[in-house]
Amino acid sequence: MYRPDDIGTENFVRCGFRDCYKCCLETEMILTKEDVARIEKNTTFNREDFLLPTEQTDGFMQLKNVESPIGRKCFFLSDKGKCTIYESAPGGCKLYPLILNLETDEVMIDIDCRERAWFNDQTYMHEQVVSVRILVNSLLIENDEMEEL
């Protein structure tokens, strides 16, 4: 998966705002089955620890927010604003601030991103845009499969 802040090549847009964690506050991050399996494999947590009950999320697997001194934050964000599972982070976190607008079918920068202006001035590789579409399609397919159970 290609992420906006990949460091592997100068062709990728790289986030220069490592001190920002706004996207991890009051998050509504949806996870794929693969995300959940990877997190469970690489941490000591079970899905019940970090996911909201699916009856609260229209059947999607969504990260919990927890109370902290810095506000309601992602279950995996430390009180110092650092991701504690960065290498195992969900696909949506890796691709953020790129999102898919379901109404227009446009891959865009999330309007809630603190550094939106900077990201809007960047050029994204085709692979980054395709990764967003693949992730959203996977989430929608998985949710349909879960509803059928």
The secondary structure of residue 6, as a DSSP letter, is -
Q: Please write the tens of the pLDDT for every residue from 100-144.
A: 888 998 999 999 888 888 888 877 777 788 888 888 888 888 877
Q: Please write the tens of the pLDDT for every residue from 49-95.
A: 999 999 999 989 999 999 999 889 999 999 888 899 988 999 998 88
Q: Please write the tens of the pLDDT for every residue from 1-29.
A: 444 444 444 444 445 466 788 889 999 99
Q: What does the domain layout of the chain look like in residue ranges?
A: 22-144
Taking the C-alpha atoms of 69, 116, 101 and 55 in order, what is their torsion angle to the nearest 10 degrees? Answer: 0
**CA 131 – CA 106 distance, rounded (Å):** 13
CB atoms within 10 A of CB 122: 13
